[in-house]
A = this chain, B = another copy of it.
Amino acid sequence: MPKSKFELIYKELKQKIEGLDYKYRDFLPSENIMIDMFSCSRNTIRRAVSMLAEDGYVQSLHGKGVRVIYQPVGQNSFTIGGIESFKESAARNNKTPSTKVVQFTEIIADQRIYEKTGFIVGSEVYYIQRVRYLDGKALIFDINLLLKAVVPGLTKEVLEASIYDYLENVLGMQIVTSKRKMTAERATQIDEKYLDLNGYNFLAVISSQTFNSDGIMFEYTQSRHRPDYFCFYDTATRKKSP
């Protein structure tokens, strides 16, 4: 699977920053130096560096250089990254995941569902509820709506394993963009029924719409997390305004 050059450079620089070869407040080698290091053009370097800037790993200082602003993070809560499956996140957070399917039916999207999820009225969708366990504790309650047309042969076994694995490796679908919304909500009776809430009466909720490589929104997910095991990271860069 030959990756593109800028991705390789991006990955290598990222690893060096995470491995503290380049430390917080250090400068990366200048573009001209990196051109020799990686034997590529300036544009390719700049592309890799700008990806690191998007990740909040570095910041470019006009006329001076590119400074590392990455700081290693203390890992006690469950962090949410880019687009990751539950299994991938669990692995990154060094937890053992498991999943129980508690609901698996089909419905037709009506006006109310459209407003909540974005599925066009009349679409046939799977409606799924799952409880996610980390190291044996029921910490996350997932509600999935999946476009039936895009995921025809869905079974309970797939749901207990990983939908993303199935989509990407079996159906060959590529997940590309995910729009997410973060809120905090009171726990419902269903949350209380299925989760180990440990006294909490509220949850951190991520609602997301996922688009495949055809630009079709094929999934709506709501993940309801116990707050003490939840953490969402984000980096923003200021755009010149008015």
Interface residues of A (CB under 8 A from B): 3, 7, 25, 53-54, 56, 59, 61-62, 67, 69, 71, 74, 77, 82-83, 115, 118, 174-186, 200-204, 211, 213-215, 217, 227, 230-240
CB-defined contacts of A179 to chain B, threshold 8 Å: 56, 69, 233-235
**Shortest distance between the CB of A12 and any CB in chain B (Å):** 14
Contact B237–A67 (Cβ < 8 Å): no
With both beta carbons as reference points, the residue of chain B lying nearest to A182 in the complex is identified as B232
Please report the C-alpha to C-alpha distance between residue A59 and residue B25 in the assembled complex, in whole angstroms.
34
Q: Which among B118, B177, B231 is the interface contact of A181 at CB below 8 angstroms?
A: B231
14 A-B pairs with C-beta separation under 8 A: A7-B239, A7-B240, A25-B215, A54-B54, A59-B176, A59-B215, A69-B179, A82-B237, A179-B235, A181-B232, A183-B204, A184-B204, A204-B204, A234-B234
CB-defined contacts of A214 to chain B, threshold 8 Å: 61
Please report the C-alpha to C-alpha distance between residue A61 and residue B54 in the assembled complex, in whole angstroms.
22
Q: Which among B184, B231, B236 is the interface contact of A202 at CB below 8 angstroms?
A: B184
Most buried by B among A176, A202, A234: A234
With both beta carbons as reference points, the residue of chain B lying nearest to A4 in the complex is identified as B240
CB-defined contacts of A56 to chain B, threshold 8 Å: 177, 179
Q: Which among B59, B201, B232, B240 is the interface contact of A183 at CB below 8 angstroms?
A: B232
**Shortest distance between the CB of A15 and any CB in chain B (Å):** 12
Contact B235–A180 (Cβ < 8 Å): yes
With both beta carbons as reference points, the residue of chain B lying nearest to A187 in the complex is identified as B202
